[in-house]
Amino acid sequence: MAKKPTVYKNYIDGKWVASATGKTFENVNPADTSEIVGIFQDSDERDVNAAVAAAKKAYRKWRLVPAPKRGELVMKLGLWLMENKERLARDATREMGKVLAETRGDLQEGIDMALLCAGEGRRMYGETTPAELPNKFAMTVRQPLGVCGLITPWNFPMAIPTWKMMPALVCGNTVVIKPATLTPLTVWNLVKGAEEVGIPKGVVNYVTGSGRRVGDPLTKHPDVSLISFTGSTEVGRSINLACATDFKRVGLEMGGKNAVIVMDDANLELALDGVLWGAFGTTGQRCTATSRCIVQKGVYDKFLKALTRRAKALKVGNGLDESVEMGPAVDASQLKTDLDYIAIGKKEGARMVCGGKRLKGGDYDKGFFIEPTIFADVTPDMRIFKEEIFGPVLSVVPFDTFEEGIEIANDSLYGLSGSIYTQDVNRAFAAMRDIQTGIFYVNAPTIGAENHLPFGGVKQTGNGHREGGHEALDLFSEWKAIYVDFSGTLQRAQIDTDDVVKVD
């Protein structure tokens, strides 16, 4: 007899509670749809209102906890993640499909972000600066914003929630998290850890459900001071417009159409490793995935042949199998998107050199598996060149000169990540300067960002804010300028300055 799936509840004001709707939804393993990973609350605006009220109440005391002490609790949560890393990684693979090596990396990002932000509790620097009048002191300090709404995606179900939650907490904010409906268990695990390490009730709240019934009311709630969102550009645009109504702060991390440039002088074996990993890691389901490979004509045929051979050899399957190199698409909708874009590429006249089909037979019939797919001779006017697919579909584009390669790479609405493979240091530095992205790599793939550096993009990838590094504090805090006048008299800035340089 099959084990009855666990029912998971919302976490509001320090209590695990059922949704006001009384409804639930199933979370299914994309590699084996016969497995129900868990049953979660199908919440609505009433649950959001309760969570925001709890966060607003908790904020009054949490903001007064010294930042080093808030950092200590964040550190305890990071250590809890470290202790439970393997169990949580397996849960993440079960609910979103990517291979265990990658979900372990996902967990490690969460651990790293917690430890980084714990330190920021003792490094939340402002500045002191000379005042223009005598006997007057001037300084700046960071202050929290209030209640932060965190709307997180499914592809990095632990890393991205921690990118948002850890800096928010250490800055003195309280949070309401809405996880993606495809990956609520991993965020449930994170929130459970917060409870176990003693983060006070109401500081962290967790509400599951759809974007329409949970995300929209969270975005529009008058007591929410900030929305931090990672997801599609289309949804990000609607969130930005909604937040503009009452001038909420909003941080957006959205789409990408990332390019690797492979020069004639590149170390081709290294470039092959990087492009293969960048294009097909996480089944191409990364905002930083390599979806365009721009190859100089002198090595184009040789590189394409080797890349095709390597892609065909990738082992696709259930990510819990340690020998598997690429897992399934996350759900039926994403699989359909991948197949639709493959059909578009064929219609546009791109040359498909491998892949292109859904995998069938045996265990493949249980999940949403697709072959790693490569299109050659892609041109910049094609939709598969321009539009984000978010699947294991790579476009390979030939070019002549270095300048042309840069131009092709920059021909995108997005600007998240870019890369160049070359042994020419002059070209490497020119590419660093000229490629229009927020992240750039030399002789490395477009994926692999580290938590202590800022993460984010330009153009329609984001709205200028960054996650990761100490720069994340800029999103989750605001500056206050403070003046202390100890002269005992009224001193008028910009007016009573003429006599201050006189010496008796």
Q: Which active-site residues does the annotation give?
A: 253, 287
Determine the Cα–Cα distance for residues 131 and 369; give it in Å rounded to an integer: 64
Residue 370: name the closest of 342, 344, 348 by CA: 342
Rg (CA), the chain: 25
Range list of β-strands (E), 145-236 = 147-151, 174-178, 204-206, 224-230
Residues 295 and 288: their CA atoms lie apart, in Å, by 19
The number of residues in the chain equals 504
* Angle, helix 184-196 to helix 85-96, in steps of 10 degrees: 160
Q: Which of 494, 482, 500 is nearest to 128 (CA)?
A: 482
The tokens of 22 are what? 């009384």
What is the Cα–Cα distance from 412 to 457, expressed in whole angstroms?
A: 12
Q: What's the burial of 192, exposed, middle or buried (CB within 10 Å: 0-12/13-18/19+)?
A: middle
Number of alpha carbons in the 13 Å side-chain half-sphere of residue 244: 7
What is the C-alpha separation between 183 and 16, in angstroms, rounded? 18
Looking at the DSSP bridge assignments, the partners of residue 28 are 36
- List, in sequence order, every residue forming a beta bridge with 420; answer none if it has no partner: 261, 442
Distance CA(196)–CA(108), nearest Å, equals 19
Q: Which single residue is written with the structure tokens 């003046």?
A: 483
Amino acid identity of residue 298, one-letter, is G
Q: Report the alpha-carbon distance of residue 62 to residue 44 in Å, rounded.
A: 26
Instruction: Enumerate residues 6+ apart whose C-beta is below 8 A from 264.
Output: 296, 298, 299
